[in-house]
Structure formats: C-alpha cells, structure tokens
Amino acid sequence: MLSEKMQEALNTQINKELYSSYLYLSMAAWCESVNLGGFANWMIIQAREEVSHTEKLFGFLNERGGRVLLQPIEGPPTEWGSVLEVFGQVLEHERLVTGLIHGLVKLARSEDDYATEAFLQWFVSEQVEEEATASGVVEKLKLAGEQGSGLFMLDREMGTRVFTPPAGE
C-alpha cells in the first residue's frame, strides 16, 4: 500500500501530466493559427502521449490501493512569438517534468517503496527521450530559420509523426 505522502505526490503528478496535455494542445492550436499544421500534428501527438502517461499513473495508483483524486488543471499559455519559442518552451517544460519525476523517485527511495521506484524508472527513461526530442527540434529550427523552405520542410516532417502507445497499453 502507498503512503499518504506518495499517494498525494502521484496525484500531483497526474495533474502535471494533464497540464502537459493541455499545454501541448494549446501549442497545437497556436501552430494551426499560423498555418503550421505539421507542428500542430506533432503537438497533438505529444498531448496524447501525456494523457497516456496520466493513464499509467492512474492505473498504478489504483493497483497499489491508492485513490486517484483529480485536481483542477491550470490553464496554459495561448500565445507565442514563433515556433522556435514554442519548442523552447517545450524543452523547458520537459526539463521541469524530469525534475518532478526525479522528485518522485527520491520520495520512493526515502520511503523504501521499491515498487513505486521500479514503476517510475519507465518515466525516468521516457524523460530522457522527451528532452532529447525537444532539444533536437529546437536545434533544427535554429538551423532552418523561421521562414522559407527550411521551416516548410520541418513542418512537413513534423506532420508525419504518429501516436504510438507506450509498451504495456
């Protein structure tokens, strides 16, 4: 059974994952508004990934005898100056989430909660991938520039992304 402190921390993480989904949907809406449908597609897929992370946490909490207590979700920003600014915020946000996951791992270790620590290792690995992907897009945008054929090519590349559910779903 989970401690009260761990249950609360996992519920907070559920909220953060749902906020992440809201953030990426807001970014998708902005990308659509500036005719970058490929980038919007990338963001919609990212939003779906965040919901799948929520579902993993939701299931784990229930399996361990905890109770999911949903909290209000903060509204995300809605305006950006450029697609580079959008992806800079994606990278910053993923780094924040990495810190939150590391905090959960530390809590699990401090409570000798080996099951939760083992469960969280998937999220630790996932965050390495999330940060690398966001950083890669930022670097490509810096190289391509924010106008012309480079941006068009990147937008087309982002439009090819498809949702792949995490293993075990």
Q: Is 73 left (phi over 0), alpha (psi -120 to 50) or beta?
A: beta
Does the structure show a pLDDT above 80 at 167? no
Measured CA to CA, the distance from residue 87 to residue 109 in angstroms comes to 33
Position 145 scores a pLDDT of 84
Question: Which pLDDT band holds residue 50 (cuts at 50, 70, 90)?
Answer: very high
Does the structure show a pLDDT above 70 at 168? no
Structure tokens at 52: 């799948």
**pLDDT tens digits, residue range 18-32?**
999 999 999 999 999
- The residue-averaged pLDDT of 53-73 equals 97
Pick from 125, 1, 114, 9: nearest CA to 57? 9
Does the structure show a pLDDT above 70 at 69? yes
Name the CATH topology of 4-158: Ferritin (1.20.1260)
**pLDDT tens digits, residue range 129-158?**
999 999 999 999 999 987 789 999 999 999
Pick from 15, 17, 11, 19: nearest CA to 107? 11
Whole-Å CA distances, 149 to 13, 31, 32:
40, 17, 18
- How does the average pLDDT of the chain come out, rounded? 96
In whole angstroms, how large is the CA radius of gyration of the chain? 17
